[in-house]
Amino acid sequence: MKNGLILEDLADAQQWLLSVLESSFPGMVIEVVSSVSEATEKLQSYKPDIALVDLNLPDGSGVSVLQNLNKNHADCVAVVTTTYDDDESLFSALCAGAQGYLLKEQKKEILIDALKGISEGRPALSPQISMRILDFFASGSASKPAQTEPTEPTEPMNPAEQDSYQLVDKLTRRETDVLKEIARGSSTKKTAEVLNVSFNTVASHIKSIYAKLNISSRAEVVHEAIRLGINNH
């Protein structure tokens, strides 16, 4: 592999992934872009052999870039590099053409080994993701509808309760964990220590929480956590 592309909007994460990719494929020419629009423009003239694609970006989803790669750069190995480990993110990416799915919070050595394995025919999958895929098919979920209607509560919810559940359901399990810690007053660094993940991973989750809950400060995080009764979910 000679050419690589990294799609990531966080500066620290860009440097982290650049280091990982350079260590995996020494001498590789690597281009870094930070948005869907930049990636789309770059791919008009640049032909990567491998692309590391984040999913949650300022101007859209990395899934559209995966579809672009799958359609116009079929020889490129598209690998998702994200903090999202939920089924919706995983299977949307795989359906869009992703050939790998790595969680950025893992140790550098694990990521490098996963990427190097591509040359040996091994899919670049984090261990947790491999198990999630196996569990999905083992449970027979593949033959079930992608989404099912939620079970109706025994008693109707009032509008405030419905709003709370709808907003909380937008968050992934890990985002909910981060929200709880931030609401308790933990710093980004402390939250990373408590959850045993990297500082960059927590920062990425916080950015996603802000976007999903339409807030812009830690004070609003605390307010929303209390309003939504997040500790009860």
Give the start-to-end residue ranges of the domains of the chain.
3-138, 159-232
| Residue 137 pLDDT | 61
Task: Supply the DSSP symbol for 76.
Answer: S
Nearest to residue 93, comparing CAs of 123, 116, 114, 122?
123
| Residue 160 pLDDT | 41
User: For residue 133, is pLDDT > 90?
Assistant: no
User: For residue 145, is pLDDT > 50?
Assistant: no
The Cα–Cα gap between 46 and 24 comes to 20
Burial class (CB in 10 A: 0-12, 13-18, 19+), 192: buried
User: For residue 140, is pLDDT > 80?
Assistant: no
- Give the mean model confidence (pLDDT) for residues 205-227: 72
Contacts for 223 with CB less than 8 Å, ≥ 6 apart: none
What CATH code is assigned to 3-138?
3.40.50.2300
Q: Are 176 and 164 in contact (CB under 8 A)?
A: no
The Cα–Cα gap between 62 and 232 comes to 32
User: For residue 86, is pLDDT > 90?
Assistant: no
CATH 1.10.10.10 fits 159-232, yes or no: yes
The predicted model scores a pTM of 0.63
Give 65's Cβ-side CA count (13 Å radius): 35
Nearest to residue 7, comparing CAs of 34, 25, 42?
34
